[in-house]
Chain A
Amino acid sequence: GQQVMQIPQYQHVQEGEDFTTYCNSSTTLSNIQWYKQRPGGHPVFLIQLVKSGEVKKQKRLTFQFGEAKKNSSLHITATQTTDVGTYFCAGPSGSARQLTFGSGTQLTVLP
């Protein structure tokens, strides 16, 4: 079955440093979604990428979808303590709107 791998599993950064998490799929994806889960909370949708090579920005967050549509990345510039949480990528699987989630990258921002 489809696998979605995400690295790193954990990342500690000093506030103000940049952060990147990478997502790789074993199969070509029609689209990829990114979610953020704050400690003790639930995942919240951030963005969806659809086109090959697509780049989208949300303030300090930059999302990229690879040319082959098998990988994606999330880059945060100048992290803040509000960025703390676990970031998940997710790709569609099956024929009925299922998502396969990556294992997530847990970001800790040290003040």
Chain B
Amino acid sequence: DGGITQSPKYLFRKEGQNVTLSCEQNLNHDAMYWYRQDPGQGLRLIYYSQIVNDFQKGDIAEGYSVSREKKESFPLTVTSAQKNPTAFYLCASSISGTPGRTYNEQFFGPGTRLTVL
């Protein structure tokens, strides 16, 4: 059964602690993304990766870090430098496709709700 998994579903952390959110996909997608969603708001891009061992900052990368050592995995670390980390974090993936051609849909994982205490 193909899809994207994120763990844990709920995560609590104390101020000053780093925390890593897991994202795994078995869709054989090249591209993976991390978004942040705050209550009543849209999705804001944190980081994205088009290929293994390569990733780029999105619109709100400060206080976050990622790695892409395997095609299937794109973990996100929320560091203590992130001023307001409480949010809903969504991971997504898509087929990269051919440059210049129609973009492809993104498939989302179930998300992780992070609360900083």
- What residues of chain A have their CB less than 8 Å away from a CB belonging to chain B? 1, 6, 9, 30-31, 33, 41-45, 48, 50, 88, 92, 95-104, 106
Kindly identify which residue among B40, B45, B99 contacts A98, using a CB–CB cutoff of 8 Å.
Answer: B45
Cβ-defined contact, A97 with B94, below 8 A: yes
Q: What's the least CB distance linking B27 to chain A, in Å? A: 13
A-B contact sample (8 more), CB < 8 A, given A31-B103, A33-B105: A9-B40, A43-B106, A50-B102, A88-B42, A96-B50, A97-B48, A97-B103, A98-B33
Residue of A nearest to B109 (CB): A42
A-B contact count (CB 8 A): 63
Q: How many of chain B's residues have a CB under 8 angstroms from any CB in A?
A: 30
Q: What's the least CB distance linking A72 to chain B, in Å? A: 14
Task: Give 22 pairs: A residue, B residue, CB < 8 Å, sorted on A.
Answer: A31-B102, A41-B110, A42-B90, A42-B108, A42-B111, A43-B43, A43-B90, A43-B92, A43-B106, A45-B106, A48-B102, A48-B103, A48-B105, A50-B102, A96-B50, A97-B96, A97-B104, A98-B45, A99-B106, A101-B44, A102-B42, A104-B42
- What residues of chain B have their CB less than 8 Å away from a CB belonging to chain A? 31, 33, 35, 40-45, 48, 50, 56, 58-59, 90, 92, 94, 96-97, 99, 102-111
Cβ-defined contact, B105 with A97, below 8 A: no
Provide the bound-state CA to CA distance between A31 and B105, in Å: 11
Residue of A nearest to B49 (CB): A96
Q: Which residues of A lie under 8 Å from residue B107 when comparing CB positions? A: 45
Cβ-defined contact, A96 with B90, below 8 A: no
Residue of B nearest to A91 (CB): B103
Provide the bound-state CA to CA distance between A26 and B45, in Å: 18
Provide the bound-state CA to CA distance between A100 and B90, in Å: 14
Interface centre among A33, A50, A96 (most CB of B within 10 A): A96
Cβ-defined contact, A42 with B45, below 8 A: no
Nearest 10 A-B pairs (CB), nearest first?
A45-B105, A42-B108, A103-B42, A101-B43, A101-B42, A92-B103, A43-B108, A104-B42, A42-B111, A96-B50
Residue of B nearest to A34 (CB): B105
Kindly identify which residue among A6, A44, A100 contacts B108, using a CB–CB cutoff of 8 Å.
Answer: A44
Provide the bound-state CA to CA distance between A106 and B90, in Å: 18
